[in-house]
Structure 1
């Protein structure tokens, strides 16, 4: 059932972005139709994963991913929410939280259930926070590289933009890391 829901929502997003591509291409709006192409690709990622892997999907992560790309690509870039000033920071906070959830899922898949009793809640905290911050750092390297090598303006505010983005990523990851550490501690105190 989860796979079907992911397929349906992803297909809706891909078709929505495809319609936007056609619309903006016909208007010769290259900025927006290129974003729509990116939306088609990003929306197809869950479809490709469902089709070519046997990964059991964490529904909240997949829905959060699709909501995030909708907020970034459609609301942020196509509708211009990035012009609000706070939208980029809000999305970086959400991406930090989303990466924190991904870290929890990875942690649970990479450790044996019996071994988790011996793992400190502080290690879980550090793993989740570090994973979220690493994701933010890699994104900022991507933006910096685009600006340096392709004469783009992804880091509109330069160092200030980068530091605000990294702080927001860290804050989002911190919220999830604290929650994961508390949950881990409570879970293993009961046993």
Structure 2
């Protein structure tokens, strides 16, 4: 009797989603325990995480659990089929940004971790923008055919807008809860001022723009060559 190979039929989107949910859920419990015993202010003798640091981790983990369900909600409400590979990359990004970045402190211990994630997210959002506009462009009921340049421009603006919204979110959370999402406080407690305090935000936006630009340029020529071959 011939054995069936089930390895190739694994639902990686479901597997990565479940693993992410478990990791973030256990992290929430861990963070609450640590936050209860953490000091309220930074000690002058030795730097250690305070309650606001753990509050940021807790907020990020809760936020991560909420936003991980956005793709499935979009698919149900708008009846758009988001590729499973893109959803897997989305879950991996959340894991790297929230669990590794905030909980495991990779933002401070791994050089350029924040820039790597922003480059990844900018490229991913650019690809998502291409997917969305291509979906509507192919709908027969709209009876429209957008030019490759407009599709690329929309994808680029979509990715950059999403990056700007994220920076606004970081600013609002830091202002309301006294957290350090914008990294204006160094790991040793030093508070940055002036242009140094703005460097993280501007660097993130620039990296988002560059990675989105790279993806949209590739997508532009891909669509243009595809239209040329079909004509």
Which TM-score bucket, shorter chain as reference? 0.7 to 0.9
RMSD: 3.0
User: 2:9 and 2:65 mapped to 1: Cα distance?
Assistant: 21
Structure 1 unpaired stretches of 5+: none
User: 1:28 and 1:75 mapped to 2: Cα distance?
Assistant: 18
Task: Please state which structure has a larger fraction of its residues in helix.
Answer: 1
Q: What residue number does 1:133 align with? A: 160
The answer (yes or no) to whether the contact 1:39–1:69 under 8 Å persists in 2 is yes
Structure 2 unpaired stretches of 5+: 1-7, 37-50, 185-196
The answer (yes or no) to whether the contact 2:126–2:156 under 8 Å persists in 1 is yes
Q: What's the CA shift string for 1:146-185, capped at 9, x where partnerless?
A: 2334433322243211110100000110111011101011
The answer (yes or no) to whether the contact 2:130–2:155 under 8 Å persists in 1 is yes
Which residue among 61, 81, 103 is the counterpart of 2:106?
81
The answer (yes or no) to whether the contact 1:7–1:50 under 8 Å persists in 2 is no
Deviates more, 1:2-11 or 1:180-189: 2-11
Which residue among 212, 215, 222 is the counterpart of 1:173?
212
Q: What residue number does 2:200 align with? A: 161
**DSSP-derived class of the 1:39 partner:** helix
Structure exhibiting the larger radius of gyration computed from Cα positions: 2
TM-score (norm 2): 0.70
Q: What residue number does 2:44 align with? A: none
**Counterparts in 2 of 1:15 and 1:148: CA distance versus 1, 3 Å:** closer
Structure 1 residue 20 and structure 2 residue 27: aligned?
yes
Aligned length: 191
TM-score (norm 1): 0.83
**DSSP-derived class of the 1:155 partner:** coil
**Counterparts in 2 of 1:124 and 1:155: CA distance versus 1, 3 Å:** same
